Amino acid sequence: MKKDKKSVDLRHQNILKYVRENGEVRSEDIAEMFGISLMTVRRDLQLLARKGLLHRTHGGAATIDAFYNTRKLSAEVNSCRDSISEFAASFVNDGDTVFINGSQTALNLLRFVGNKKVHVITNNGWCIGADYQDGVTIQMTGGDLRGRILIGEHTLQSLLEETADKTFIGCAAVYEDAEFVYDIPTEIGINEVMITKTRQHVYILADHTKLHFREDRSSSYGSCTYDCEHTLITDELADPVIIDRLRQNGTDIIVVPIRREQLV
């Protein structure tokens, strides 16, 4: 087996792609899929998890979103995400039209808009069955359903026909060099369409667990940078060194205090 850096990086990218296509996989399936030993699988998953690209599970790995969507979050992380959602809602004005992508933290801001009239255009299936204020109207894009998120050409075409005042999007991870990672690579194109059709401002919501240092960008998969003016909203538990480096890389950042009453 080749062990040069190029072949190892390629294997890591293929493992990431395999995990992201399936949401959660067993180590045995990865070993069989790529013809490698379980020891190599465990070593690869440990490295990828340390870089914040996936989560280790008992016996395998899962995408970051799948991990959080299927497991109960700690009270602390829940509080951080609610704090971010509530703060983001303060940027929504009465009468606004907003884009929201597949992020649950972004979608959650609708709980905090009060009596404002807000029209939401989204590909986020988590909104189905949710209870919002009467002033909130939701227009879903079409598309192919991946988990709870609509993706594909129909989603893109739907968005191209719309405009919004503001866009609120989430991500799977953020590196200190202002690179944003997504579990489903096609989300990048969807986000970019939302951004180009936004009249005012773009907000990216990411709690502290999604902010990471990055030593080797060659293993990235489903990542992008944003050239447009945007604001990253995170919480006070975010690493101050990462915050400082993001600002040095031109990212506007708002650090939100945690709603600590939820931790009692």
**Percent of the chain surpassing pLDDT 70:** 89
Residue 67's pLDDT is 62
Give 209: exposed, middle or buried? Use CB within 10 Å, 0-12, 13-18, 19+. buried
Q: Is 256 helix (H, G, I), strand (E, B) or coil?
A: strand
C-alpha Rg value of the chain to the nearest Å: 19
Helix (H) or strand (E) holding 254: strand 252-256
pTM value surpassing 0.75:
no
Q: Which residue has the higher pLDDT, 255 or 62?
A: 255
Quick: pLDDT tens for 121-139. 999 999 998 899 999 999 9
Homologous superfamily (CATH) of 75-263 is: Translation initiation factor eif-2b; domain 2 (3.40.50.10470)
| CA pair distance 263, 61, nearest whole angstrom | 29
Inform me whether the pLDDT recorded for 159 exceeds 80.
yes
- H or E stretch at 180: strand 180-181
**Average of per-residue pLDDT values in the chain:** 88
C-alpha distances (whole Å) from 254 to each of 52, 54, 162, 177, 236 are: 22, 25, 28, 17, 9
Residues in the chain: 264
Q: What is the pLDDT of residues 174-224, one digit of tens each?
A: 999 998 988 777 889 999 999 999 999 999 999 998 898 865 444 445 678
What are 61-117's pLDDT values in tens digits? 888 666 655 555 577 888 999 999 999 999 999 999 999 999 999 999 999 999 999
Q: How far apart are CA 15 and CA 45, in angstroms?
A: 9
**What are the extents of the domains in the chain?**
5-70, 75-263
Q: Residue 41: pLDDT band by 50, 70, 90 thresholds?
A: very high
Residue 147 in tokens: 């988990």
Top-confidence residue, 38 or 168 = 168
At which residue do the structure tokens 């067993």 appear? 26
**How sure is the predictor about 243, in pLDDT bands with cuts at 50, 70 and 90?**
very high
Q: Which CATH class is domain 5-70?
A: mainly alpha
